[in-house]
Chains A and B, each alone.
Chain A
Amino acid sequence: MNIFRLCGDMSHLAAIIILLLKMWKTRSVAGISGKSQILFATVFTARYLDLFTSFISIYNTCMKVFFIGTVYFTIYLIYMKFKATYDSNHDSFRVEFLIVPVGGLAFLVNHEFAPLEIIWTFSIYLESVAILPQLFMISKTGEAETITSHYLFALGSYRALYLCNWIYRYYAEGFFDLIAVVAGVVQTILYCDFFYLYITKVMKGKKISLPA
């Protein structure tokens, strides 16, 4: 563990807590993409299959349980509890256009042609594009609530911090995982446009409204 990875995990934790607070306080899921949350649930489920078979640390296990628990709770809030406030018309991204190519790529490009490794690779590739339905929804509605912007900023920062973690681990431990790094770079790049809007707008107390 290093400071970059710890900050990344805390940023990820903060994003999930911000999202839950937004939903619970406003009792609304307006502006939140249920499809992205379903993709995140798929990512966590695929990645944490070893939750019960391999023990890394208390921290690792607790975070995995928390991430899996909260993402399914979020889906419950979107599609059941606060269903009336879910904006399905604007949450129209065709996720099959993500899952099929990502699934195929995981079969073709992986470290080892073994079931758990391919499923892990699938979760890495899927995570890099899982935010697309959410960003697509914001571009369709033309705006994002400020708290949703904070959620996205924390979520985007988490993988950017992981990139720093991989740079550190390369020089400190000689550790390098090309698949995770490439997917992490793609994932972070997808947020760049949003980061720009966040820093130029939200930091000045304005709301994000597109086209900027």
Chain B
Amino acid sequence: DNNNNNKDEL
């Protein structure tokens, strides 16, 4: 699913 799993944002 499209959630922010890779947390590459600040």
CB pair B7 A50 closer than 8 Å: yes
Interface residues in A9-42 (C-beta closer than 8 Å to B): 9, 12
Interface residues in A167-212 (C-beta closer than 8 Å to B): 174-180
CB pair A67 B10 closer than 8 Å: yes
Q: For residue B2, which residue of chain A has the nearest CB?
A: A176
CB pair A111 B4 closer than 8 Å: yes
Residues of chain A within 8 A of B8, CB atoms compared = 56, 60
CB pair B4 A180 closer than 8 Å: yes
CB pair A120 B7 closer than 8 Å: yes
Cα–Cα distance between A112 and B9 once the two chains are bound (Å): 18
Cα–Cα distance between A23 and B9 once the two chains are bound (Å): 28
Residues 43-77 of chain A, each 1 if its beta carbon lies under 8 Å from chain B, else 0 = 00000001000101000100110010000000000
Cα–Cα distance between A179 and B3 once the two chains are bound (Å): 9
* A174 CB contact (under 8 Å) in B2, B5, B7, B10: B2
Residues of chain B within 8 A of A180, CB atoms compared = 4, 9
How far in angstroms is the closest Cβ of chain B from A46? Answer: 12
Residues of A within 8 A of B (CB): 5, 9, 12, 50, 54, 56, 60, 63-64, 67, 111-112, 120, 162, 165, 174-180
